[in-house]
Amino acid sequence: MTVTVFVPGDSAALAVGADKVAAAIVREAKARGLDVQVVRNGSRGLLWLEPLVEVRSDHHRVAYGPVKVSDVPSLFDANFLEGGEHPLFHGQTKDMPFLSRQTRLTFSRCGVTDPLSLEDYRHYQGLKGLEKAIAMAPADIVKQVADSGLRGRGGAGFPTGIKWKTVLDAPGDRKYIVCNADEGDSGTFSDRMIMEGDPFVLIEGMAIAALATEATKGYVYTRSEYPHAIRVMTEAVRIAREAGILGPSVMGSGRAFDMEVRMGAGAYVCGEETSLLNSLEGKRGIVRAKPPLPALQGLFGCPTVVNNVMSLASVPVIMDRGAAFYRDYGVGRSHGTIPIQLAGNVKHGGLYETAFGLTLGELVYDIGGGTANGRPVKAVQVGGPLGAYFPPSLFDTIFDYEAFAAKDGLIGHAGIVVFDDTVDMLKQARFAMEFCAVESCGKCTPCRIGSTRGVETVDRIAHGIEPEKNRALLGDLCNTMKFGSLCALGGFTPYPVMSAMTHFPEDFAPTPLVEAAE
């Protein structure tokens, strides 16, 4: 009997030797005369256990990890093909606490299926949402997405249904669906994981968006640093086209939609939607002034939906299970689930999809297990390089858009980066300004000039030069950037800077000049 062994082909697993482990399993099986089929699945998101090797026996799967090539002979000796005991054994995959406590709606298939098997995709509820959408009028699809309460997962949390309605109502012969897969935020990888682990869900989400808005062409815009995602996505698009899911008549509906994958050079600002559109048009990635909104005049001047990967990948389950099903998860005005990414100095780093509403402390300590090196947590940065730093005293903050905004923070793309007590928050503030200076598109003065002045001001504080005056100046500068910048790169850089200064004043205390010179 052939035994199926899963070895993730996700970048995070590849980075720690998954290809070699897969090859070693095939070699060892052959040498022992055993019949093994290796499937390269996506990642389950337990990144500290990668490569997490799974074996399917009967109706369940058991997990072993992290597996090194040198572990392979002992796994065979322990009869892992029949779920045998081994020091790397974790029992049934679905019962592993990091997984069993999650609510996986968007990531339900990621790590479970062969990413490029349409058969697997259909077997695990794939295409059900699209089938339902085909039977509906565009306005009804829009309404269902609006009623679900889905908000953009790219950063701003804008209601997806309202965006789609604007595009549907906009006059135009040609409309576009643009998937923002630039994923530039520090500590984030959910978009990449879906593209590598369950690409058809993104294709299905984009096709539904197209039916809802009468768009006929779509693009996935991602970055050159994501070669594996690009390969898998491109191949999935080809397979979907061949199967008639994309093309002149989406699943026989008579409605056309096709899509392509495009690669940017990887500038942070190219994740900003108008800059992204410029880049997609072959121009320099400079931010466009709004209005006009991309929904009205976006790609090549046509009405365009620009949505994050997570937003689009959440749509199939909403169409399949209904608006109320999705809406009932979460708290306040943050409905549904959010794929949280735990990164930095954290013991259990990875992807954790859950309903909105856990506290930051639960995420960092209960789920993440605290720091990887066992030192106390000093701060976490939530929402990428433009997100605020939270000290443990604010760990009772609930993970929802409004609760974070109330604490001068943002959820952004839901990345949490953990720092231990050795971090110097003044250096982090300097880094935020420096990052802004390097990544600024240069279109507006507060960001272009302000960020460089910001670096200089932080340096003066670090060197003990008129610290009080320079701290006030930094606050002033942040205010100018916050209210005077054209886009959120300049407008939100003050968040990490000001939160560092507010919550960790001791790191901004004057250092005598002599000491600084040493």
**Residue 180 touches which of ligand FMN, ligand SF4, none (Cβ within 5-8 Å per kind):** ligand FMN
- The least CB distance from residue 116 to ligand FMN, in Å, is 24
60 beta partners: 57
C-alpha neighbours within 13 Å on the C-beta side of residue 406: 9
Q: Angle at Cα 258 formed by Cα 253 and Cα 260, nearest 5°?
A: 160
Taking residue 514's Cβ as centre, other Cβ atoms within 10 Å add up to 8
Stretch of residues binding ligand FMN (CB under 6 A), selected from 97-105, 118-126, 178-186, 423-431:
178-186
DSSP state of 366: I
Under rule CB under 6 A, residue 180 binds ligand FMN: yes
**Distance between CA atoms of residues 75 and 98, nearest Å:** 23
Token pair 């949490």 in the structure block, residue: 416
Name the strand (E) or helix (H) holding 379. strand 377-382
**Residue 462 touches which of ligand FMN, ligand SF4, none (Cβ within 5-8 Å per kind):** none
Residue 85 to residues 8, 32, 74, 177, Cα–Cα distance (Å): 21, 19, 11, 49
Cβ closer to ligand FMN: 178 or 367?
178
Under rule CB under 6 A, residue 43 binds ligand SF4: no
Provide the mask over 456-495, with x wherever binding to ligand FMN is found by CB under 6 A and - wherever it is not: -------------------------------xxx------
> Could you say which of 153, 288, 430, 482 contacts ligand FMN (CB under 6 A)?
153
Residue type, 55: V
Distance between terminal CA atoms of the chain? 70
Q: Percentages helix, strand, coil for the chain, rounded to the nearest 5?
A: 45, 15, 35
**Distance between CA atoms of residues 412 and 185, nearest Å:** 8
Cβ closer to ligand SF4: 158 or 483?
483
Contact (CB, 8 A) for 260 and 219:
yes
Sign of the alpha-carbon dihedral angle for 370, 48, 73, 7: positive
**Residue 183 touches which of ligand FMN, ligand SF4, none (Cβ within 5-8 Å per kind):** ligand FMN
> Could you say which of 9, 115, 154, 368 contacts ligand FMN (CB under 6 A)?
154
Under rule CB under 6 A, residue 132 binds ligand SF4: no
Picking from 50, 61, 55, 1, the residue whose alpha carbon sits closest to that of residue 21 is: 50
420-479: which residues touch ligand SF4 (CB under 6 A)? 440-444, 447-448
Cβ closer to ligand FMN: 65 or 491?
491
> Could you say which of 267, 269, 277, 382 contacts ligand SF4 (CB under 6 A)?
269
Residue type, 465: I
Count of residues that bind ligand FMN according to CB under 6 A: 22
**Residue 182 touches which of ligand FMN, ligand SF4, none (Cβ within 5-8 Å per kind):** ligand FMN
Count of residues that bind ligand SF4 according to CB under 6 A: 14
Cβ closer to ligand FMN: 367 or 487?
487
- The least CB distance from residue 67 to ligand SF4, in Å, is 43
Q: Would you tell me which residues interact with ligand FMN (CB under 6 A)?
A: 152-156, 158, 180, 182-184, 268-269, 271-273, 306-308, 311, 487-489
